[in-house]
Chains A and B, each alone.
Chain A
C-alpha cells in the first residue's frame, strides 16, 4: 500500500507539469483542445492525489509502523478517530493534505469555468498548476509521508518496523484539532484562486471587473475559512495550551493573520473598483499579497526561521519556499508594472468625508497592520542581519501598535457605511451620528461610575457601542421605509430588505460580529489570576470567588494515566460549579498533558489549570484565571460566519429592486 501511495503521489508531478504546459500552450495558441487537455490534467491531478490520501489513510488506520509517518504520529491504542485525523497531525501528512486541497480547487475551478472565461482560463489553470507543481515537488521529494523507517547496517540502509508507534501528540488529541488545520488550509490555499484570476487578467489584459466578479465568492469563502481557522486556532490554544489566553502574537498565529488582513482590505477596496473604477493597481496588489502571504505563512511555520510554540521542527523546506516566494513575487510585480498604464483610475477622489475616503483609510490601516505584524514577526531575522543580535519583540510591542489600529478600524466600521459616495454633508453627519455619539458618551460615564478607568478599554467599549447602534439603526430605518412603501409588516420588510442586498446587509452582520469579538478582546484588560498549592479541603480566593479543593483523584486508561482535582467554585457562600482540571500522562508518547477545565459564562470564564503535583503526591499546584468576556470572542465569530454565509446568498429579485437603491444618499449600497 505504501508503494501504491508513493506511485500515485509520484504521478502528481508529471500530471501537474502537463497541466501547466498545456494551459500555457492553450493561452498562447488559443486552441480549445489544449485548454481541454489542461482541464483534464486538473481532474487527473485531483484523482491521483485523492487516491494517495486514501492510501495514506489506509496505512494510518491499519497501523503500518514500517511507515515513518504512521509510527511517528499514531500508536495501536489510539482511538480510530484520531488515527484517521492523524493525516494532518504531522508535517508530511499535513503538507499532503495541503497539496490535495490545491488539486480540489483547481478541479473545481476547471469545472466551474468549463463553458466560460475561456480567454482567461488557460492562464488561471497555468498559475494554479505552477503552485501545484511546487507543492507536489515538496510532497514527493522532500517531505514524503510514505517514507519508510530505515536503519544503517554497515553500508546498507535497511527498512524496519517498530512494534508500536510513538503516538499522536497529546496536544492534538482535541476536537478543535480535527477541524482547525483543514479549515485554515482551505483559507490559505483558497487565496490561490483570486490570485490565479488576477494573474490571468494581467496577462490577457482583460482588466475590467470580470475577474473580480468571477472570484467574489472564492474571495469571500476563503476569507471566511481563514477567519474561522484563526479563531479555532485561538480556541484550541485556549483550551489546550493551558496558559489562560488565546492569542500571544506567536509567529505562527501572525502567519495566519497576515493574509487575513490583506484579504479583508481587498474585500473592502474591491467595492470602490466596482463602483468607481478606482484602486485597480491596489486591488491587484492586495490579491497578490494575500497569495504570497499565504505561501509565506506556510514557509514561516515549516522552515524554522523563527521559533514558535507551534512550529519547532526544521523540516528542510526553507530554501525551496524562499526560491518559490521570490520568483512569484518578482513575476507578479513585473506583470503589474507591465500593465500599470491600463490600470489607471476612472475617477478621482472628490471629498475627504465620503465613502471612498472611508475605504481608503480602511485600506491604509489594514496595510499598516499587515506591515506591523510582518515586521514584528520577522524582527528576529531583520535584527540579526543588521545588528548581529537576534531580537524578539513580544506581545507588548504588538499590542502597543495593534490596539490603536484595531480601534481605528472598528470606528471606521461604524462610520464608513453611513458615509455617502463622493460627498457627505454636515447635516447628514449630524443626523447619522448625533445620537450614537451621545449614547457612547453616556456609556463611558456609566462605566467610569462603575469603576472602570482603563483608557483603552473605555475607548473600545464606547466605539463598540457606537458601531452596534449605527448598525441596528441601519436595519431598523431600512425596514421602516420598506414597510411604509410596500405595506409589508416590519419583520417581513426586514427580511426582504436584507435578502435584496445580501452583500450590504451580510456586511453589516459581519461588522456586528467583529464588534462583539472586540468586546471579548477588551475583556483582556480585566484578566486576573492566582496560583495556589492545595491539599484536599484547602481554600483560596480570586476576586469575588472562593475555591475549595475537594478531592484529588488518580485514574488510568489504556491511553494515559491522570490526576484530577475536583475544584469547587463558591460565590456569595453558594456553590456555583465544580470543575475538574486534570494532568495526564500519555504512555505511548511518554508525554504529560494538561487538561484545563473552564467554568464559562457570558460574563467571564473561570479557567483552572493543574500545573503540578507536590513531591509526596498529596497536594497539587493549581492556577486559576478569571477572564471576562472571552465567550464574546467565540459568539462574535459565529455571527461573523453567519454574516459571511448571508453575504454569499444571491439577492432576491423583485420589481422593486431596480429603483430601491438610491445611489447618492446615505442609504447607498455597499455593493
Chain B
C-alpha cells in the first residue's frame, strides 16, 4: 500500500506540473489569440488593441499594394473594412493575390492608428466548385 501511495503522490505531482504549464501558457500573450470578424473588431474598438487577434474577412479585390518587401491590403465584411499591413516573415500563401476572391484570416494586433499589423496570413480561395484541402491530411 505504501508503494501505491508513493506512485499516487508522484502522479499527482506530474499532473499538477502539467496543469501549471497549461495555465501558464494561457497567460502568455503570444500563445492565445481571439478569433473575430472584421465588423466585430471595429465594434470592439480600443479593447481590440490589447488583444492578439485572428481576423477573418474577404480580401478586397485589387487592394493589395506591394512596395518592395512591404505588403498592404484591405479585408472586408459587408461594409466594414480593415486596413492590414503585413509585418510577418513567412511567405504569403499562394491563394492570396489581387485577381482572386479569397477569404482571408490575418493574425496579429490592431495598432493605435487603426491599421492591423498582421504577422500571419492564411487564405482560402473560393474556387469554382469546391475548395477542398481536407483530404490532404486526414
Residues of A within 8 A of B (CB): 68, 71-72, 88-91, 93-94, 166, 169-172, 177, 180-181, 184-185, 188, 233, 236-237, 242-244, 252-253, 255-256, 297-298, 301-302, 307, 309-313, 315, 348-352, 357, 360-361, 364-365, 368, 372, 375, 380, 389-397, 400-401, 404-405, 408, 529, 531, 533, 589-594, 609, 611-612, 614-615, 621, 623
Tell me whether B35 and A297 are in contact (CB under 8 A). Answer: no
Contact across chains for B132 and A307 when beta carbons are under 8 A apart: no
Contact of B74 with A by CB under 8 A? no
Q: A350-B3, A612-B66 are in contact. Are A401 and B22 (CB under 8 A)?
A: yes
CB pair A380–B35 under 8 Å, yes or no, is yes
CA distance A268 to B27 in the complex (A): 35
New A-B pairs, 6, CB < 8 Å, besides A90-B132, A394-B30: A68-B129, A72-B130, A180-B137, A185-B138, A389-B34, A621-B69
Which chain B residue has the least Cβ–Cβ distance from A596? B91
Are B32 and A394 touching (Cβ within 8 A)?
yes
| A400 contact set on B, CB distance < 8 A | 21, 24-25, 28, 31
Q: Kindly identify which residue among B25, B105, B132 contacts A397, using a CB–CB cutoff of 8 Å.
A: B25
Provide the bound-state CA to CA distance between A387 and B94, in Å: 35
Do residues B133 and A392 form an inter-chain contact, with CB atoms below 8 A? no
Q: Report B-chain residues with C-beta under 8 Å of the C-beta of A244.
A: 90
Q: Provide 19 A-B residue pairs closer than 8 Å at the C-beta atoms, listed in order of the A residue.
A: A71-B129, A177-B136, A233-B137, A242-B91, A252-B137, A307-B105, A313-B134, A350-B3, A352-B3, A375-B22, A389-B35, A396-B31, A397-B25, A405-B18, A531-B69, A591-B125, A592-B97, A594-B94, A623-B90
CB contacts (< 8 Å) of B10 on chain A: these are 352, 361
Nearest 6 pairs of A and B residues by beta carbon:
A611-B91, A94-B135, A397-B31, A396-B31, A390-B35, A397-B25
Q: Which of A93, A307, A365, A392 contacts B33 (CB 8 A)?
A: A392
A392 and B90: CB pair below 8 A? no
B115 at the interface (CB under 8 A from A): no
B91 touches A609 (CB 8 A): yes
- Report A226 CB to chain B, min CB distance, Å: 12
**Cα–Cα distance between A504 and B67 once the two chains are bound (Å):** 61
Query: Within 8 Å of chain A (Cβ to Cβ): is B128?
Result: yes
Minimum Cβ distance to chain B for residue A185 (Å): 7
CB <8 Å contact, B94 and A394 = no
Instruction: List chain A residues, Cβ under 8 A from B130.
Output: 72, 90-91, 313
Q: How far is the CB of B104 from chain A (nearest CB, A)?
A: 12
A348 to B10, CA, bound (A): 17
Are A297 and B14 in contact, with the CB atoms below 8 A?
no
Residues of B within 8 A of A591 (CB): 94-95, 125
B4 cross-chain contacts in A, Cβ below 8 A: 348-349
- CB-CB under 8 A from B25, the residues of chain A are 393, 396-397, 400-401
B26 on the interface (CB 8 Å rule)? yes
Taken together as a complex, chains A and B put the C-alpha atoms of A340 and B92 apart, in Å, by: 54
Within 8 Å of chain A (Cβ to Cβ): is B60? Answer: no
Least CB distance, B51 to chain A, in whole angstroms: 9
Do the beta carbons of A349 and B3 come within 8 Å of each other? yes
Tell me, yes or no, whether B89 is within 8 Å of chain A by CB. Answer: yes
Contacts of A172 in B (CB 8 A): 135-136
Closest Cβ of chain A to B15, distance in Å, is: 7
Distance of B82 from chain A, by nearest CB (Å): 17
- Contacts known (A401-B21, A594-B91); A236 close to B69, Cβ less than 8 A: no
Q: Is the CB of B122 within 8 A of A393?
A: no
CB pair A529–B89 under 8 Å, yes or no, is yes
Q: How far is the CA of A357 from the CA of B21 in the complex (A)?
A: 24
Residues of A contacting B22 with CB < 8 Å? Answer: 372, 375, 397, 401
Q: Which of B15, B30, B91, B125 has the most CB of A within 10 A?
A: B91
In the complex, what's the smallest C-beta–C-beta distance from B97 to chain A, in angstroms? 7
Closest approach, in angstroms, between the C-beta of A215 and any C-beta of chain B? 24
Which one, A242, A252, A589, A623, contacts B138 given CB within 8 A? A252
Given known contacts A397-B25, A405-B18, A309 and B133 CB-to-CB distance under 8 angstroms: yes
Can you name the residue of chain A whose Cβ is closest to the Cβ of B95? A591
Report the separation of the CA atoms of residues A531 and B89 in the bound assembly, to the nearest whole angstrom: 8
Q: Contact mask B1-23 → A, CB, 8 Å, 1/0?
A: 00110110011001101100110
Chain B proximity of A71: nearest CB distance (Å)? 6
Contact mask for chain B residues 59-100; partner A; CB cutoff 8 A; 1 contact, 0 none: 000000010110000000000000000000111101101011
Looking at the complex, which one of B28, B36, B105, B138 makes contact with A184 (CB distance below 8 Å)?
A: B138
Which chain B residue lies CB-closest to A312? B124
Cβ-defined contact, B138 with A297, below 8 A: yes
Inter-chain contacts of A181 with B (CB < 8 A) = 135-138
Which residues of B have CB within 8 Å of A351? 3
B127: interface (CB < 8 Å): yes
Q: Find out whether the CB atom of B132 lies under 8 angstroms from the CB atom of A309.
A: no
Contacts A312-B131, A393-B32 hold; do A361 and B137 have CB atoms under 8 A apart? no
Alpha-carbon gap, A408 to B36, bound state (A): 37
Asked if B109 is at the interface of the complex by the 8 Å CB criterion, the answer is: no
Assess whether B7 is in contact with A593, with CB atoms less than 8 Å apart.
no
A616 → B minimal CB distance (Å): 11
Looking at the assembled complex, report how far the CB atom of B122 sits from the nearest CB atom of chain A, in whole angstroms: 6
CB nearest neighbor in B for A531 = B89
Across the interface, do B133 and A169 meet the contact criterion of CB distance under 8 Å?
yes
Instruction: Name the distance in Å between B8's Cβ and chain A's nearest Cβ.
Output: 10
Partner of A394, one of B11, B15, B31: B31
A188 CA to B137 CA, complexed, in Å: 12
Contact across chains for B34 and A611 when beta carbons are under 8 A apart: no
Residues of A within 8 A of B26 (CB): 393, 397
A594 to B96 alpha-carbon distance, docked (Å): 12
Q: Are A364 and B136 in contact (CB under 8 A)?
A: no
Asked whether A391 and B32 contact (CB < 8 A) given A352-B3, A364-B11, A368-B15, the answer is yes
Kindly report which residue of chain B lies nearest to residue A352, judged by CB atoms: B6
B residues within 8 A CB of A365? 14
Q: How far does the Cβ of B64 sit from chain A's closest Cβ, in whole Å?
A: 11
CB-CB nearest in chain B for A356: B7
Contact A309 B138 (CB under 8 A): no
Nearest CB of chain B from residue A159's CB, rounded to whole Å: 15
Contact A311 B21 (CB under 8 A): no
Q: How far is the CB of A115 from chain B (nearest CB, A)?
A: 36
Cβ-defined contact, B18 with A372, below 8 A: yes
In the bound complex, CA of A88 to CA of B133 (Å): 11
List residues of chain B with CB within 8 A of the CB of A612.
66, 91-92
C-alpha spacing A609/B55, complex, angstroms: 26
Chain A residues, CB < 8 A from B129: 68, 71-72, 166
CA–CA, A405 and B18, complex, Å: 8
Contact partners of A360 in chain B: CB under 8 A: 7, 11
Query: With A90-B132, A91-B134, A594-B91 as given contacts, are A361 and B14 in contact (CB-CB < 8 Å)?
Result: yes
How many whole Å from B109's CB to the nearest CB in chain A?
14
Name the one of B95, B97, B99, B133 contacting A310, with C-beta atoms under 8 angstroms. Answer: B133
Query: Smallest Cβ distance from A410 to chain B, in angstroms?
Result: 15
- B137–A253 CB distance below 8 A: yes
- In the assembled complex, the Cα of A302 lies from the Cα of B125 at a distance in Å of 17
Q: Which residues of B contact A529 (CB under 8 A)?
A: 89
Query: Measured between C-beta atoms, what is the minimum distance from B135 to chain A in Å?
Result: 4
A586 vs chain B, min Cβ distance (A): 10
Q: Which residues does chain A contribute within 8 Å of B122, judged by CB atoms?
A: 309
